[in-house]
């Protein structure tokens, strides 16, 4: 048994002062240090530095580790030139992205407090790294392929990757999962088969959805910038699905929809009504010129996530939260800061179906300790100061063991 105390603990009821947590691999009890010491006299005591805040480990629900080698190869500013640059540089970027590069990024995520991440995997290349990192990983095997001619082959490859990630489940902190690339890039027949796989094995399910204006125009009218792309690479001028048909395919299974920047209120409400959640990636959306997701209008739970280094400059969750504060400049800043912390802890854990994300009895002992540089003068501003001042956490625990 270990006992950790901090000036503040972030709980589902907000920040509480002068409390401690007794834990093994799971949280046993939350109380004052004196009470816990007398209950567990043999426990080792961990005292955090003054002005520390004990958080549950942070959760980044959506990242593409396979693109971690990108620095300046991909073109930022607008979605279509970016997608063209992905096609041009994909092979070189993926081959430059070896295990060492990906492990460095897992470590960078840990230094920013991330104890769990959702890895969107196109090729399965990052499975070994995800097995090795101490972090919890929801391993989203991604299905792609709009061309009916190749659909069976691509689906077969996808199922092989699903099985490989399932076989790691017992020996690592990996949860196998399914990701659908997007409405424009997945044929509806294999889409439905993949949704059924997720449903049958109760695997987390995710899909990119309405990221760009180009995607919307293509799905609605078969026009716009994606038309030339499909003509050039796939010799086709008609989309394989439309917005409604794509959404309906997920009706019976809760899904984590990434981006949704170009979804209208009716579509967002439909997703909410069906029990789906949203992954909001503020920097990725800004860098690819996709716009601002109106988070203030969402009726469903949402997470804040970094996306990959293919559309970002770091995988730090605190960099992402600071960007969210800037992007949503109209929102009252303290209320937004509090909500953002909830999106990357309790809400993200609920979305991914994981028993972590809260400092509460019975939850996994995944902790991130944030140390402020002076005592916060007003308690109601704690969330904001934690976001603004944290470049790296001062310690990190996963399942009760220290890793930073």
Return the range that interacts with ligand BEZ (CB under 6 A); candidates 68-76, 113-121, 143-151, 328-336.
143-151
307 binding partner (options ligand BEZ, Fe ion, none; Cβ < 5 to 8 Å by kind):
Fe ion
Which residues lie closer than 8 Å to 127 by C-beta, 6 or more apart?
121, 139, 161, 164, 165, 168, 174
From CA 220, how far away is CA 2, in angstroms rounded? 57
Least distance from ligand BEZ to the Cβ atom of residue 184, Å = 6
3-state secondary structure of 78: coil
Least distance from ligand BEZ to the Cβ atom of residue 326, Å = 30
Least distance from ligand BEZ to the Cβ atom of residue 240, Å = 8
Measured from the CB atom, is 58 or 79 closer to ligand BEZ? 79
Return the range that interacts with ligand BEZ (CB under 6 A); candidates 1-9, 140-148, 253-261, 336-344.
140-148
What residues are paired with 186 via a beta bridge? 145
What residues are paired with 176 via a beta bridge? 139
Residue 280 class from Cβ within 10 Å (0-12 exposed, 13-18 middle, 19+ buried)? buried
Phi, psi of 357 (to 5 degrees): 90, 0
From CA 390, how far away is CA 320, in angstroms rounded? 11
By the rule CB under 6 A, 145 interacts with ligand BEZ:
yes
Which residues 293-312 are close enough to bind Fe ion by CB under 5 A? 307
146 binding partner (options Fe ion, ligand BEZ, none; Cβ < 5 to 8 Å by kind):
ligand BEZ
Least distance from ligand BEZ to the Cβ atom of residue 185, Å = 3
By the rule CB under 6 A, 144 interacts with ligand BEZ:
yes
| 211 has catalytic annotation | yes
Which residues 193-222 are close enough to bind Fe ion by CB under 5 A? none
212 binding partner (options Fe ion, ligand BEZ, none; Cβ < 5 to 8 Å by kind):
none
Signed CA dihedral, 7, 9, 13, 14: sign only: positive
Kindly list the distances between the CA atom of residue 267 and the CA atoms of 122, 221, 222, 348, in Å, as whole numbers in the listed order.
27, 17, 19, 21
Kindly list the distances between the CA atom of residue 152 and the CA atoms of 147, 157, 186, 187, 241, in Å, as whole numbers in the listed order.
10, 9, 12, 10, 18
Measured from the CB atom, is 123 or 234 closer to ligand BEZ? 234
From CA 127, how far away is CA 205, in angstroms rounded? 18
Torsion of CA 254, 242, 297, 320, to 10 degrees: 70
Least distance from ligand BEZ to the Cβ atom of residue 123, Å = 12
Measured from the CB atom, is 7 or 307 closer to Fe ion? 307
Q: Write down the catalytic residue from 66, 105, 126, 211.
A: 211
From CA 340, how far away is CA 357, in angstroms rounded? 13
Q: Which residue is nearest to ligand BEZ (CB)?
A: 146
By the rule CB under 6 A, 146 interacts with ligand BEZ:
yes
Kindly list the distances between the CA atom of residue 223 and the CA atoms of 181, 211, 213, 216, 236, in Å, as whole numbers in the listed order.
20, 16, 11, 9, 12
85 binding partner (options ligand BEZ, Fe ion, none; Cβ < 5 to 8 Å by kind):
none
Return the range that interacts with ligand BEZ (CB under 6 A); candidates 9-17, 101-109, 144-152, 318-326.
144-152
By the rule CB under 6 A, 185 interacts with ligand BEZ:
yes
144 binding partner (options Fe ion, ligand BEZ, none; Cβ < 5 to 8 Å by kind):
ligand BEZ
Which residues of the chain form contacts with ligand BEZ (CB under 6 A)? 144-147, 185, 234
Enzyme catalytic residues: 211
């Amino acid at each position: 048994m270990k006992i950790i105390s901090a000036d503040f603990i972030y709980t589902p009821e907000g920040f509480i002062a002068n409390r401690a947590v007794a834990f093994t691999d799971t949280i046993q009890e939350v109380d004052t240090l004196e009470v816990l010491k007398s209950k567990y006299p043999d426990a080792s005591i961990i005292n955090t530095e003054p002005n520390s805040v004990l958080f549950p480990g942070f959760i980044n629900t959506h990242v593409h580790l396979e693109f971690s080698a990108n620095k300046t190869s991909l073109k930022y500013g607008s979605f279509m030139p970016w997608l063209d640059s992905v096609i041009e540089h994909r092979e070189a970027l993926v081959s430059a992205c070896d295990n060492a590069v990906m492990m460095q990024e897992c470590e960078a995520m840990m230094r920013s407090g991330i104890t769990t991440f959702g890895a969107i995997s196109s090729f399965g290349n990052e499975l070994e790294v995800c097995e090795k990192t101490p972090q919890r990983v929801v391993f989203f095997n991604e299905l792609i392929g709009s061309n009916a001619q190749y659909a069976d082959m691509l689906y077969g490859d996808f199922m092989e990757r699903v099985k490989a990630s399932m076989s790691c489940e017992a020996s690592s902190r990996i949860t196998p999962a399914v990701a659908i690339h997007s409405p424009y890039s997945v044929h509806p027949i294999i889409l439905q088969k993949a949704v059924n796989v997720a449903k049958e094995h109760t695997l987390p399910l995710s899909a990119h959805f309405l990221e760009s204006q180009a995607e919307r125009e293509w799905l609605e009218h078969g026009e716009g910038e994606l038309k030339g792309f499909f003509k050039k690479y796939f010799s086709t001028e008609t989309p394989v699905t439309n917005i409604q048909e794509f959404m309906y395919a997920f009706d019976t299974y809760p899904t984590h929809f990434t981006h949704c920047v170009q979804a209208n209120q009716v579509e967002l409400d439909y997703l909410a009504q069906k029990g789906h959640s949203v992954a909001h990636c503020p920097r990725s959306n800004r860098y690819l010129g996709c716009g601002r997701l109106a988070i203030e209008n969402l009726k469903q739970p949402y997470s804040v996530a970094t996306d990959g280094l293919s559309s970002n400059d770091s995988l730090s969750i605190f960099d992402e939260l600071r960007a969210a504060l800037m992007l949503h400049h109209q929102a009252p800043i303290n209320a937004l800061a509090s909500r953002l912390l909830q999106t990357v802890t309790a809400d993200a854990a609920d979305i991914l179906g994981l028993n972590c994300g809260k400092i509460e009895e019975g939850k996994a002992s995944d902790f991130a300790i944030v140390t402020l540089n002076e005592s916060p003068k007003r308690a109601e501003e704690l969330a904001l100061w934690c976001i603004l001042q944290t470049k790296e956490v001062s310690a990190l625990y996963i399942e009760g063991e220290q890793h930073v």
